[in-house]
Amino acid sequence: MAGPIQNILVYVDGSEESITAAEYGVCLAKSTGASLSALYVVNTRALNDLVKSRIFIASEEQEYQQDLENDADKYLNHVKDLAHKKGQTIEVFQKNGAIHTEIKHTIEELDADLLIIGELSKLQSRRDEFYNEVERAMRSVPCSVLIAKDEDLVWSLYESLA
Amino acid sequence: MSILELVTEDCIKVPLESKRKNDLIREMVAVLEGAGKINDSEAIYQAIRTREDQGSTGLGEGIAIPHAKVEGVSELTMAIGISPDGIDFESLDGQDAKVFFMILAPPDKAGQHIQALSEVAKITRSAAFMRALLHSQNPAEVLELFQE
């Protein structure tokens, strides 16, 4: 019988926490035989909102979108390297849109059965809970969600992989 | 990301003393310099001025969000200032600006910069919150509002 985890998606946003999530994803994929994918979302929804609210001018929107696309390449390549160093295959995806929506869509497209995210920042007010995009994704995705914590422990698990 | 992760009491000034746009930008840059958040205040002032020359960040309804992507900061940084009397910030609605959020980010932190600007944009949509913010008497009261 196949195990409970067949298809893992890791959400990567360039934060240290999300890189820890990617390392944990590699460990879990290696130990379960599950397939592994990583997603970076270029938050064009936020960019559009900043233009609509007149905080950004059009040239800033283009400049920042380019910056975010460069970040996507950089971090997805880093995650690919992390997987390949341990002999784990990985598929990476860059999508544009709203973070929580794109995470949900990608899970549905890939039929992923586990989403791994990095540790969420500490809530300091009720507003934080309301505004956190990854937390929204965590609540709305149809699959189980794993939050990778303890950067040092995860790193040593990753390092100990053959 | 929480705004409270970016702002401490020493990054808040109530009331701001300046009566003109450029002076106010310098005053807020000085707040960040005093808090040890930035080094090259003149370069940062110029970066913000350059952005303002492309179009005012005075959004209207008394709110302005001067911002820039600059080399002179090592991490995302924010200052909050309140000018109860308001100053002409060349806002789109022609009204004086009274509440200022200054956001500076290093060039390699585009994602965090956008996140911070988005969170400030969402907060400023609450008229009740902005009214309360405008009536804050000191930095501690400003922080308390963000903690609620």
**Main-chain phi, psi angles of A10, to 5 degrees:** -105, 130
Output the average pLDDT for chain A. 92
- The correct answer on CATH 1.10.8.60 for the domain covering A7-44+72-155 is no
Q: Show residues of chain A in contact with B146, CB under 8 Å.
A: 124-125, 127
What is the b/e burial string over B104-131, where b = at least 16 CB atoms within 10 angstroms of the residue's CB? bbbeebbbbbbbbbbbbbebbeeeebbe
Mean pLDDT value of segment A15-22: 95
CATH fold for domain B3-147: Mannitol-specific EII; Chain A (3.40.930)
pLDDT of A22 higher than 60: yes
- When CB atoms are compared, the residue of A46, A64, A121 closest to B2 is A121
Interchain proximity A43–B55, CB inside 8 Å: no
pLDDT digits (tens, 9 = 90+) for B24-38: 999 999 999 999 999
Q: What is the pLDDT of residue B49?
A: 97
Which residue from B63, B89, B82, B65 is spatially nearest to B16, judged by alpha carbons?
B82
Cβ contact, residue pair A43, B67, below 8 Å: no
Looking at chain B, which residue has its C-alpha nearest residue A13? B111
What is the mean predicted confidence (pLDDT) over A24-44?
97
Q: Could you report the per-residue pLDDT of A78-88, keeping only the tens digit for each? A: 999 999 999 99
Structural domain spans, chain A = 7-44+72-155
Question: A interface mutation test: which of B2, B48, B109, B147 has the most A CBs within 10 A?
Answer: B2
Nearest Cα residue in chain A from B102: A55
Q: Among A127, A130, A135, A136, which would you mutate to test the B interface (most chain B Cβ atoms within 10 Å of its Cβ)?
A: A127
Give the tens place of pLDDT for each residue, A113-156: 999 999 987 665 555 555 677 888 888 999 999 999 999 999 99
- CA A25, CA A105: separation in Å to the nearest integer? 19
For A67, A86, A127, B1, the CA distances from B114, given in Å and listed in that order, are: 11, 34, 17, 11
Measure A151 CA to nearest chain B CA, in Å.
18
**pLDDT, tens only, B115-127:** 889 889 888 888 9
Q: Write the pLDDT tens digit of every residue in A62-108.
A: 999 999 999 999 999 999 999 999 999 999 999 999 999 999 999 99
What pLDDT sits at residue B15? 96
Asked whether residue B102 carries a pLDDT value surpassing 70, the answer given is yes
Residue with token string 């936020």: A46
* Inter-chain residue contact A128 with B2, CB threshold 8 Å: yes
Whether residue A67 contacts residue B110, with contact meaning beta carbons closer than 8 Å, is answered with: yes
